[in-house]
Amino acid sequence: MSSIHRVGAPILHKQEFAWIRDYLYKHAGIVLNDSKQAMVMGRLEKRLRHHGIDSYGEYFRQFGKPGFENETTMAIDLLTTNETYFFRESKHFDFVVEKILPQHSAAKPFRVWSAASSSGEEAYTLAMLLAEYLRSRQWDIVGTDISTRILEKARRGLYPSNAAEKIPQILLKKYCLKGTGQYDGFLLVAPELRSHVKFEYANLIGTLPDLGTFDVIFLRNVMIYFDMETKQRLLDKIVKYLRPGGYFFISHSESLSGMKTELQTIMPSVYRKALD
């Protein structure tokens, strides 16, 4: 496979790509096809230069060795972090506001899990909507991700100003602060909103932390990276965290077709767990 790369930069050979592909599948459940070879090079080349290592094979051989644990985690972070933005696939958020929130009992807290939260935009989008429509009622959001580096960014709630493009102006003014001084050109999610959102590390194919149960779970743009066997195991695990009558969202580009599940299809990419 040929690709454009920096002159003098290490080349990721076929057997090296096969090794990292197998490693990622074992540790994160992610399936990398051959078209991702250039992506692996692009994301890891700086790490090789940082350590003065001149081949990917030598870099990979350090994984898990004493003193290299943090680097191993960083490499996994770099290869598993995906694009996200505020109000992505906005019809899902419309559904939450129009169909789910009106029928929720005020007697109990409303809980949402953003299961692959990345840098936090999905979780904070939901937080703006819950703050707006539930007002003084109790609610909380949990965001989880495999990337410790990206979770730190999510906890800060600090984003470039252009990230606000999809946020409705009324919500932007109410729940985001405009950066000044050294933070000029950034926006900060308001502290009172951040206080309702908790971010935790979780490897979805590993042992999950005790998170409680949820009225809504978002697991979007995740299963496209897994094979069918891993998808089924993940779905079986996630559904246990969904309360009876709770809703489960996947991306519009994904489907539960061919999978065994107790969930009822409400509309494409939206599912519901039966009431007891």
Q: What are the residue boundaries of the structural domains of the chain, listed by start? A: 14-80, 90-272
Strands 139-145 and 197-201: parallel
Residue 249 DSSP symbol? E
**Predicted confidence (pLDDT) at residue 115 exceeds the cutoff of 70:** yes
Reported confidence tier of residue 4, pLDDT bands at 50, 70, 90: very low
The average confidence (pLDDT) of the chain is 91
DSSP string, 8-56: TPPP--HHHHHHHHHHHHHHH-PPPPGGGHHHHHHHHHHHHHHHT---H
Reported confidence tier of residue 170, pLDDT bands at 50, 70, 90: very high
Token output for 179: 């950066």
Q: What number is the average pLDDT over the span 105-134?
A: 96
Reported confidence tier of residue 70, pLDDT bands at 50, 70, 90: confident
User: Which of 22-31, 74-83, 143-152, 258-267 has the least mean pLDDT?
Assistant: 74-83
* Rounded (5°) CA angle 182-145-108: 100
Q: What number is the average pLDDT over the span 198-202?
A: 97
Token output for 122: 């999905």
Question: 90-272: same fold as 14-80?
Answer: no
pLDDT per residue as tens digits for the range 249-274: 999 999 999 999 999 999 999 999 99
User: Tell me, what's the pLDDT at 7?
Assistant: 52
User: Tell me, what's the pLDDT at 216?
Assistant: 98
End-to-end CA gap in the chain: 54
pLDDT per residue as tens digits for the range 129-143: 999 999 889 999 999
CATH architecture for the domain at 14-80: Orthogonal Bundle (1.10)
User: Tell me, what's the pLDDT at 78?
Assistant: 83
Where in the sequence numbering do the catalytic residues fall?
43, 145
User: Tell me, what's the pLDDT at 183?
Assistant: 86
User: Tell me, what's the pLDDT at 6?
Assistant: 55
Reported confidence tier of residue 8, pLDDT bands at 50, 70, 90: low
**Predicted confidence (pLDDT) at residue 71 exceeds the cutoff of 70:** yes
pLDDT > 90 in the chain, percent: 72
The domain made up of 90-272 has a fold known as: Rossmann fold (3.40.50)
User: Tell me, what's the pLDDT at 3?
Assistant: 44
Token output for 104: 């929720």
Task: Please give the order of strands across the beta sheet that includes 197-201.
Answer: 197-201, 139-145, 110-114, 214-218, 242-249, 270-272, 264-267
User: Tell me, what's the pLDDT at 2?
Assistant: 39
**Predicted confidence (pLDDT) at residue 10 exceeds the cutoff of 60:** yes
